[in-house]
Structure formats: structure tokens, C-alpha cells
Structure 1
Amino acid sequence: MSSPYHLQGIPTTTLADEFGLPLYVYDADRIIDQINQFRAAFRGVNLKIKYATKALTNLSILKLMRMQGVEVDVVSVNEARLARMAGYAPGQIMYTPSGNAWTEIEEAIRMGLRLNVDSLPLLEQVGETYGSSVPVCLRINPSVADGGNLKIQTGHADSKFGIPHALRADIARVVAHYGIVVEGLHVHTGSDFKSARTFLQGAEVLFDLAGDYPDLQFMDFGSGFKVAYREGDHVTDMAELGAAMSEAFGAFCARYGRELELWFEPGKFLVSESGHLLVGVNVVKQHPTRTFVQVDSGLNHLIRPMMYDAYHEIVNLSNPAGTPTTYDVVGYICETDTFATNRVLPEVRPGDVLSIENAGAYGFSMASTYNLRSRPAEVLIYEGTAHLIRQRDTFEDLTRGMVDVDLLNTVETI
């Protein structure tokens, strides 16, 4: 297994030298290991993995997923376009909108994507416009609350996501009225759930609802599998989950009368631990109460610590044997911009390279150009070779699309 100091045998600091800082680096071996672990947990069922593209949206990452037989889940038409560029057929792409404009829904249907309907008004509009010609999946809100930060829970009763299970009769009425073909049922409880119990609660909701729909081809249970962000973190026991879900799904299929496909949409689980955000130390700044390590990155590159209070391990690649010292690691953005507080690291010096770990999911994909800062380059380590898979933003990239209006010479009309 690769360490932060060597990725597939490549010293990580040499990547900083070759590609510059800050830099996102992804280890393809770790992604493939996670895919294999997932499959191993669900032996004996007709499993289909749909990678949640939003977690890490890069053409080369999607191509790697396709090479591994993993399909995709997207939440926008642009994500679907990228998946098509990566070689996916429309039928391999699940499109899950959340209050998206009707014009985008129509475009997704024209593209031939599988449609996951998130609301009763959308179901009504699809039925009124397309009748029985467009099969749909129904995203159901099971009123199940579990997991990490409330901001990443999506299955509780007050969440904006999905059609509340309590509206079961209304769903059936709309489906019957327009003759809509329901090919799948979907539930997603949110991220960082801690036990198989949560998944089974959501599963029972779908198993019960399935009796209303005789033409189902699959059931999609989303994702939410917890990965470790620090030593001793609780993680989802995939073997336990796989055994429990496979048994429950097999029993359901027997009752339903035929075997369905079992779908999941892992994002973070597949890519989080593969990712390392390499940053350079600009300043070590002594205050009376604390010592700040100021790096050449910030919430514009990795917003999770500020948005979700997320913990990310930080490794001093340049001075691993230095004297342990307590620091606040902060960014260069003109906001409160903190990666870590009261973090013990080997002595940090200006010019050192730090690695922020578990940065593969919702890192670059949520990055911005705030403060008119460039987004980092991205590198994928595949079969022992470092491949540049996204160039660093240039000033021209940052200003592309701006329109230079000569306001001083604009004639004012009264």
C-alpha cells in the first residue's frame, strides 16, 4: 500500500518539484482497490456500481472507472457530457436532478440518459409530456436520519431530496394516470452512516414500495459509506453491510418473483483515500497564543474543513523526523481559512511541502477561483507513472468570459 511519502514508488516530493504547488495527486491503485473491495462485499447478487461523478469530476478518472467496469451517476447534463466523452453509453448514465430546470431535464431525456425523478411535480411533468415513452426511476425519501454532519444527510424527513415515502398513494396515482413505466426505485440516506442498520431501514422502505410497480429492473441504494479520516475513525464495515444487504435483497427478489439488479452510487468511498493535496509552506508565523503555518492553498482548493468541519490528516513530507510541534495550519484566502487547529506536526519550516490526506473526494470538484486564485493542477499515478490530467489555471483561464466594457466612454442617455 502506498504511503503519503511514496505513491506507487514515486517520492511524493518529486511530484511537487515536477508539477508545482499546490497540486492534487490521485493514486489509481487505491481507487481500483476500493472498487475490488466493494465488489467482494456483494458477491452473489447482480451488482452494478455507478460512480457518483460529483465526487471527483475529471475525464481521466471517469475513463479509469469505465476501464474497471464501473458506470456513472450524474447530477447535471454537463457531468453527463463528460461521461459521454469518457466513452459511456447513455444507458450507463443515471441522471439524478434535484430541482433542475425543465429545459435541462428535456436535454437529458434527448441524450437518452436514465432519469431518476426527485419530486412529485417533476413526475407529473414527465408524465404529461412523455406519457409511457420515458421510463423513470423514483427517488424516495425514506425519513431515515444517520451519518455525519447534518449538511451531508439526505434521507431525513426534512431533507430537500427525494419524494417523501408518505406520498406513496400520490406517486401511484400519477404513475397510473400517465402510464409511466417505473424501472427502478432509489434511496440515498446521505454520507458517513455507521452501520448496516441504516441501509436496511432504507431498503425496507423500497422493498415495501416495490409491490406497487411490477416492471422494476433495479433498486438503487445510493451510497454514504464512511471512510477513515484519522487513525481510529469508525468506518463502514463493508463485509457486514454486503452480507446483510445481499441476504435481504435476495429474500426480496424471491418475494418479488424475479431477480433485479442491485445498484449503488459510491463516490467518496472510491476516490477519497486516493487523493493527496500537496501544498507549500509560505510562512511560519508566531503569535503569543499559537503558531500559524500559512500555506499556498486554502478553502478555494479544499473547502471541506470550513464547510463541514471535516478533519483531514496533514503530513510534513519535507521534515518527517522533525520535533513534534503544535500548529494551526491556515490558507492564504482573505477569509477565516483553516485546515487544522492545534495540530501536532513534525517541525514545519518555510518551504516545506505538506500533504493534506483523503482529499480525493469533494476537493477539486468543489474548488473555486475565489480571490482570483488559480485552481491546482491534477495528477494521476497509474501503473507507476505520473500523468498530468488537468493543467493549473492560468490568468487567461481566470479572465476568460469577462467582457471589457469601456464605461468611461459610454454615452449616458437621460
Structure 2
Amino acid sequence: MNDAAGGTRSARDPYPAYAAMRSRCPVQAVASGSSGRHSYLVTGYAEARQALNDPRLSKDTAAFFAGKNTKRDLHPAVAHTMLAADPPRHTRLRKLVTGAFTSGAVAGLRPFITRLTGELLDRWAAEGPVDLVADLAVPLPVMVICELLGVPEADRQQVQLWSADLFAAGQPERGDTASHAVADYMSGLIASKRLRPGSSLLDRLIATRDGEDRLTEEELVSLAVLLLVAGHETTTHFLGNAALALLERPADLERLRDDPEAVPEALDELLRFDAPVATSTFRFTTEAITLGATEIPAGVPVLVALGAANRDPDRFPAPDRLDLDRDAAGHLSFGHGIHRCVGAPLARLEAEIALRAVLTRFPGIRLAGPADQLEWRRTRLVRGLVALPVLI
């Protein structure tokens, strides 16, 4: 399971393992750690789309773990986010934030993102390697989502550290501690904004809570935490993975460098080729279902390997080849169905601006060392680089 999902031995390149599993069966039972229990892993594209849009697959983690002896101590605001909810609760919560992330709404952030990207690139040293992850892919999305939510500049670095801890693989205590820290921080920020209201998205959510009483206090904190964490972690890996894919392919890099206006059209293929979310968030069967040709009993987790589905040759011919002319709009990197990533337009805008700026300002950019020596984060959920040293 670890190998197929981007674990220790195949963190750098999980796709051969995914392909081998898919060829045996696109939906199959896999062991879940040392507990003796089993989950079902989905590696086929058609089966993944079905699973992501099937109401019999619940995301209500509270219902699944009720009565089970778990050792986790996640703060409720982190454990019970909108991502861990089913309709009608999910529908109500998502409706409150969808308007802030439409393509039209995020377009208003273009000047800010462009200016911020320029300021970050101004700091890149002309001599010696630059870490594209630490010096661009990490700070840019953090600063953008913090700006959107109204998080003070002085707190933004700490917010990023908490987020990294939440995604730390194999260290549940670290994640649990971070969940309480970030939830407590957001509770304090909400209290502060009640005293001194502003115009941020968080201020608008507070007004919804206090004015129309459509949000409980726990829901308000939970939404704030989800937007804060999910709003930048995956975009960081989107940028890093896309940059690496181009740096490893000089012809594609040159093509976009010579025609930066083509960057927006290349984003879907870059997302398909190396998805920043390796495995979708938790789902479990509420009744026995048939997924593809596989019968799955009730009450078991189903893990959808988005990266594997995006490399299914039945949907994308020659899937292991980056093809900037491919129509990759059907990729599943942002999910599918009612839980599709609400922040997708913002992530696309940040990636477009950042990649275009890097290629334009640093036409000679290249890897500072062999790609096979790069270190990948060892986590089942997200897929991204620890660092990406480049020479400019």
C-alpha cells in the first residue's frame, strides 16, 4: 500500500507501481498498515470518477470512526471540516465559500499575485542554486490565502509551519498537535476580527455566522482552518511538480519560455502528469457497492489514487509522456463531483502567474543536480518535493 500510494520506496516515482496494480485490477483490496484491516484502492480512471461521484461513498469521518478505538487527537475543527461532510451539511457549507473562488472572483487577485511573485523572484540569488520550492512554491500560496482570509503578515510563516506538520507522514502526534495550534489560532483571529471587522473572506464568514446564524461557531472555525490549510498546501506541490516536469524536458520548457501566453493551456496537462494530490481524502462505503467489476462490502474505506487515474492509458493514451498538446481537461487532480476542489480557479491563477514569471525572467533556468536525487515528501495524501534546487 505504501509503495503504490507514494510511500517510502516509490515516493520519487509511484507510477510504475500504480500501473502494475491497475493492470491486475483497477479496484482492489489492500492492507491498511499493521491492523489487519483492509481498504480498497482505486487506480483506474473510470472507476475513480465513479467513486468520486457516488453518494454511497461517504466522507463523514465522524460517523465512520464513531465507537472505534482511535489514538488520534485531532482538533474537531480539523477532523470535521467540510471535506469530511456529506450533503446536506456539505452543500450548505460549500455554498458559503464557492462565490469567493469563482474564476471571476479570483481574477481580482491577479495584480496582488503578480506583484507578490515579482517580489519573491527579486530575492533569488544570481549565483548559486535557488530552491524553487522554499523560495517560491511555498511562500506564494501561503501569502495569497492569508491575504484572502485576512491573516496578519507577521503570522503567515507560523501558519505555513503548522500546515506542514498537519501533513507530516508517519508522525500522527505532530499532526494532532498542529491541529490544535492552528484551530486555536483561527479562533483567536476570529475573535479579533469581531472586534475590528475588515473586508476579508473570513470577515464575510463571520458576518454569516453572527448575522444570519447559518454557521455554528465550530463550523466557522472549521471552514477557516480548511481554507487556510487546503488553500496553499496543494498549490505548493502543483507549482513544484509542474516546474520539475518542465525542467526535465528542455523542449517543453523552451516552448513555453518562447510563448508564455501558452502557459494557461498547459496547466491541465501538467496537473494530469504529476498530480499534487496523490490520493483523495477519506471515503467509506455506507452499503455494499460494485465499483468497476469489484464488489466492496459496506463500512470499509475506499482510497482513490488520483495520480494513478490520471495515468490510465484507457483514458489518456501514452499517459507517461508529458504532451502539452493533449486535451487533459478531464484529469482528476482537482477531484470530481460535489467535492471537486473549490479553490481550483485560484490554484490555476497562481500557477499561471508563477510559471510565466519564472520562464520569462530566468530563460536559462535549469536543474542544479540530477532529478533522481531529489527528495519527495513521504505522505500518502499529497505528492510534492521537499526541495527543488535550480540554477538561474
Q: Same fold (TM over 0.5)?
A: no
- Which is helix-richer, 1 or 2? 2
- TM-score of the two chains, using structure 2 as the length reference: 0.30
- Which is strand-richer, 1 or 2? 1
Q: Which of 1 and 2 has greater Rg?
A: 1
- TM-score of the two chains, using structure 1 as the length reference: 0.29
* Structure with bigger RCO (C-alpha 8 Å, 6+ apart): 2
